[in-house]
């Protein structure tokens, strides 16, 4: 009976968090789908051929606009690299497309606070600059050439078919004319549903893990792990341990935000939360994919550079936001069991669920079922 009660408690916590973020997920993916619908894939490839600062700024912007789950982002970065983008630009695109996206910021604001959203969008560019500098200083041309040779073998990783699909609007005209056309509606619906299909597994797993951890793990465990009795040590330890927890959790993309909320309530430092969220690109399954895509040496290089950049970006956020007085004084992330009540969250959920239903109907009426079957696909597919 106690086991059933414990499972019920964990599911209730997960369900409460799900209800809190449903409307924001739909809003974020809709806005992302609108942006992706009007940006053509070939335009992105053409503008990312080197690693100059101007190019990396473009890669950051395109990545933030081309929101993807972590697996699809990694596959798309390899596709860009194979088509002529520089390796650094491809990695920049990958980081931005998972860590600087609309839906991530909205959910962080809801479950954590607006300060975390601001820190995410401030720390992301810092991490990108650190990664770019590290690749320039420490990665030799010989290693990049070997990685390109391995990438050109076209070994399948995950979400290859999804990454190969270009669902943008192909007709000409102004932004609004293209977007409000019948083709625009179809394109937005296809991107919206395919993005959901790509992340739904991680979102569900992340919510279940966060519910279980929030319900079952006592606060004293986190307090000892995060050194909460030693303020300076906690600030130094948080960004170091945050990515390690993420690496071992096997959860990525938006799915790790609920767990980040649990960790924040448990005592991890502000910078530790940001480093934890950045680390969705070095979880163990993705490291296996890097090895398949680029070879063992480049996989280890990516792991080392990304980890160091995440830690340093976490420190930058911790001490900059601390100095500005922007770190929340209380740890009240929304992970408690609250249930469903008639409030603004319920109203917004109803409105946005109706929007999602309209896009879902359009998706299936425009032949979307076949697209879902091709999500695994081939890295050399053109759908």
Check residue 171 and give its pLDDT: 76
Check residue 74 and give its pLDDT: 86
How crowded is residue 184: how many other Cβ atoms within 10 Å of its Cβ?
Answer: 21
**Which of 162-171, 229-238, 335-344 tops mean pLDDT?**
229-238
Sign of the Cα torsion 283, 285, 291, 297 reads: positive
For residues 279 and 263, give the distance between their C-alpha atoms in angstroms, rounded to a whole number.
14
Count of alpha carbons within 13 Å of 332, Cβ hemisphere only?
4
For residues 343 and 72, give the distance between their C-alpha atoms in angstroms, rounded to a whole number.
35
Q: How confident is the model at residue 83 (pLDDT cuts 50, 70, 90)?
A: confident
Check residue 153 and give its pLDDT: 85
For residues 383 and 371, give the distance between their C-alpha atoms in angstroms, rounded to a whole number.
8
**Which of 63-77, 264-278, 322-336 tops mean pLDDT?**
264-278
Condensed to tens digits (0 to 9), the pLDDT of residues 167-203 reads: 777 777 777 787 778 888 899 999 888 888 877 777 7
Question: Does residue 225 register a pLDDT over 80?
Answer: yes
Question: Does residue 383 register a pLDDT over 50?
Answer: no
Mean pLDDT of 346-362: 92
Cα–Cα nearest to 104, from 315, 351, 274: 274
Compute the mean pLDDT over every residue in the chain, rounded to the nearest whole number. Answer: 85
How crowded is residue 322: how many other Cβ atoms within 10 Å of its Cβ?
Answer: 14
Q: How confident is the model at residue 337 (pLDDT cuts 50, 70, 90)?
A: low
For residues 204 and 250, give the distance between their C-alpha atoms in angstroms, rounded to a whole number.
12
More confident residue, 5 or 54: 54
Q: How confident is the model at residue 314 (pLDDT cuts 50, 70, 90)?
A: very high
Question: Does residue 53 register a pLDDT over 70?
Answer: yes
Question: Does residue 312 register a pLDDT over 90?
Answer: yes
Mean pLDDT of 71-86: 85
For residues 231 and 15, give the distance between their C-alpha atoms in angstroms, rounded to a whole number.
33
Condensed to tens digits (0 to 9), the pLDDT of residues 260-300 reads: 888 998 899 999 999 999 998 998 888 988 999 999 999 99
User: CA angle, corner 168, sides to 149 and 64, nearest 5?
Assistant: 70
Cα–Cα nearest to 270, from 79, 118, 63, 127: 118
The reported pTM is 0.81
Contacts (Cβ under 8 Å, ≥6 apart) of 15: 211
What is the percent of the chain where pLDDT is above 90? Answer: 39
Q: How confident is the model at residue 1 (pLDDT cuts 50, 70, 90)?
A: low
| Both tokens assigned to 365 | 């009426």
| Both tokens assigned to 46 | 């053409």
More confident residue, 377 or 5: 5
């Amino acid at each position: 009976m106690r086991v059933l009660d414990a499972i019920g408690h964990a599911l209730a916590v997960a369900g409460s968090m799900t209800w809190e973020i449903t409307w924001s997920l739909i809003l974020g993916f809709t806005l992302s789908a609108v942006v992706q619908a009007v940006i053509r894939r070939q335009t992105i490839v053409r503008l990312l051929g080197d690693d100059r600062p101007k190019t990396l700024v473009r890669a950051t912007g395109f990545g933030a606009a081309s929101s993807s789950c972590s697996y699809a982002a990694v596959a798309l970065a390899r596709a860009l690299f194979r088509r002529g983008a520089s390796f650094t630009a491809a990695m920049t695109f990958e980081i931005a497309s998972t860590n600087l996206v609309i839906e991530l910021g909205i959910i962080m604001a809801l479950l954590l606070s607006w300060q975390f959203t601001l820190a995410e969008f401030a720390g992301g560019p810092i991490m990108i600059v650190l990664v770019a500098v590290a690749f320039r200083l420490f990665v030799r041309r010989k290693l990049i050439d070997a990685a390109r040779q391995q990438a050109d073998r076209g070994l399948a990783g995950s979400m290859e078919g999804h990454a190969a699909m270009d669902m943008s609007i192909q007709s000409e005209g102004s932004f609004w004319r293209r977007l409000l056309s019948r083709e625009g509606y179809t394109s937005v619906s296809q991107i919206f549903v395919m993005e959901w299909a790509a992340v739904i597994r991680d979102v569900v797993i992340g919510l279940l893990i966060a519910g279980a951890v929030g319900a079952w793990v006592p606060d004293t465990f986190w307090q000892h792990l995060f050194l909460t009795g030693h303020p300076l040590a906690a600030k130094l330890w948080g960004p170091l341990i945050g990515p390690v927890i993420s690496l071992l959790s096997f959860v990525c993309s938006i799915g790790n935000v609920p767990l980040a909320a649990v960790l924040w309530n448990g005592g991890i430092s502000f910078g530790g939360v940001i480093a934890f969220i950045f680390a969705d690109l070095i979880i163990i399954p993705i490291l296996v994919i890097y090895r398949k895509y680029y070879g063992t040496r480049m996989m280890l290089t990516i792991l080392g550079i990304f980890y160091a950049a995440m830690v340093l970006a976490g420190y930058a956020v911790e001490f900059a936001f601390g100095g500005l007085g922007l770190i929340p004084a209380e740890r009240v992330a929304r992970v408690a069991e609250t249930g469903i009540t008639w409030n603004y969250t319920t109203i917004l959920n109803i409105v946005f669920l109706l929007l999602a239903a309209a896009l879902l109907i359009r998706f299936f009426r425009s032949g979307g079922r076949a697209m879902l079957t091709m999500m695994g696909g081939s890295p050399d597919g053109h759908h």
